[in-house]
Amino acid sequence: MPKLNRDGVQIYYEVHGEGPVILLSHGYSSTSGMWKGQIEALSAKHKLVIWDMRGHGDSDYPDDQAAYSEEATVADMAALLDEVGADKAIIGGLSLGGYMSLAFNRAHPERVSALLIIDTGPGYRNDEAREGWNQNAIKRAERLEREGLPNLANASAEVRQVRHRSADGLAKAARGMLTQRDAGVMNSLASVAVPSLIVVGADDTPFLAASDYMAAKIPGAKKVVIPAAGHAANIDQPEAFNRALNEFLDALGR
């Protein structure tokens, strides 16, 4: 499969099918492999692009901590769209990938035709709450630096089912990409101007309220709760998940 050279950082990606482009981004410490149960269902009518964020999977693991950031991730996503010849795309992802999709829409709204926000939170308006999130992200980085990849053994399904070459990139990604600096993404929700689908697993307790909030704030957003599913709703209940996405995509007419 191809790689995209981003100023010396090789970004792994896959392209499946033909049609309107969907770009799906994985969650923190997962990879494009988490979407294997969606490839057949989504590529039947669309060109599905899945990829590994820097520091994850088969992409490069830069040594420089400054190479890991929200801005770099959003720029990687834009470069991927350029690479596959897409001026606009349906942009979506799970957890960190969903947050980055919202960040992408904030930076490049003209390149987004719809949003798929899955088991995701939009960040924090309260500085203290954001600092608590950031401290947890730093602790995850420290555990990875101390314990290595075996630290992921008890993570949720989208993490357990994939592989990485090194814990170092994941630790740097936690410090630079998982941490948040402001409420910019949360404050952008009311300005989202494209059809949006919010998906959450019924058992993904930490993200239920966040999903309700996004569904209320994003104009015209549709929310689907997947029964008997946790944080990896697409893996826990792939048939119900794929059906929800395809019903939304079919309603778009593109």
User: What is the 3-state secondary structure of 72-141?
Assistant: HHHHHHHHHHHHCCCCCEEEEEECHHHHHHHHHHHHCHHHEEEEEEECCCCCCCCHHHHHHHHHHHHHHH
Domain ranges of the chain: 3-252
Total length of the chain: 254
Q: Give the pLDDT confidence score for residue 254 in this predicted structure.
A: 59
Q: CA 34 to CA 54: how far, in whole Å? A: 16
Nearest one of 76, 38, 40 to 56, comparing CA atoms: 76
Q: Give the pLDDT confidence score for residue 58 in this predicted structure.
A: 97
Is the pTM for the entire model greater than 0.75? Answer: yes
Q: CA 3 to CA 190: how far, in whole Å? A: 35
Q: CA 60 to CA 52: how far, in whole Å? A: 9
Degrees to nearest 5, angle at CA 77 with 190 and 140: 85
Under 8 Å CB-to-CB from 49, ≥6 apart: which residues? Answer: 13, 14, 15, 21, 22, 23, 24, 80, 81, 84, 89
**pLDDT per residue rounded down to tens, the chain (254 residues):** 689 999 999 999 999 999 999 999 999 999 999 999 999 999 999 999 999 999 999 999 999 999 999 999 999 999 999 999 999 999 999 999 999 999 999 999 999 999 999 999 999 999 999 999 999 999 999 999 999 999 898 888 999 989 999 999 999 999 999 999 999 999 999 999 999 999 999 999 999 999 999 999 999 999 999 999 999 999 999 999 999 999 999 999 75
Which amino acid would we find at residue 227?
P
Q: Give the pLDDT confidence score for residue 151 in this predicted structure.
A: 87
- The encoded tokens of residue 45 equal 């009518």
Degrees to nearest 5, angle at CA 90 with 251 and 247: 25
Q: CA 144 to CA 28: how far, in whole Å? A: 13
SS3 of the chain: helix, strand, coil, percent, to 5: 50, 20, 35
Q: Which residues, listed in sequence order, are joined to residue 115 by a DSSP beta bridge? A: 91, 196
Q: Which residues, listed in sequence order, are joined to residue 13 by a DSSP beta bridge? A: 51
Residue 241: count other Cβ atoms within 10 Å of its Cβ: 23
Which amino acid would we find at residue 184?
G
Which numeric CATH code is attached to 3-252? 3.40.50.1820
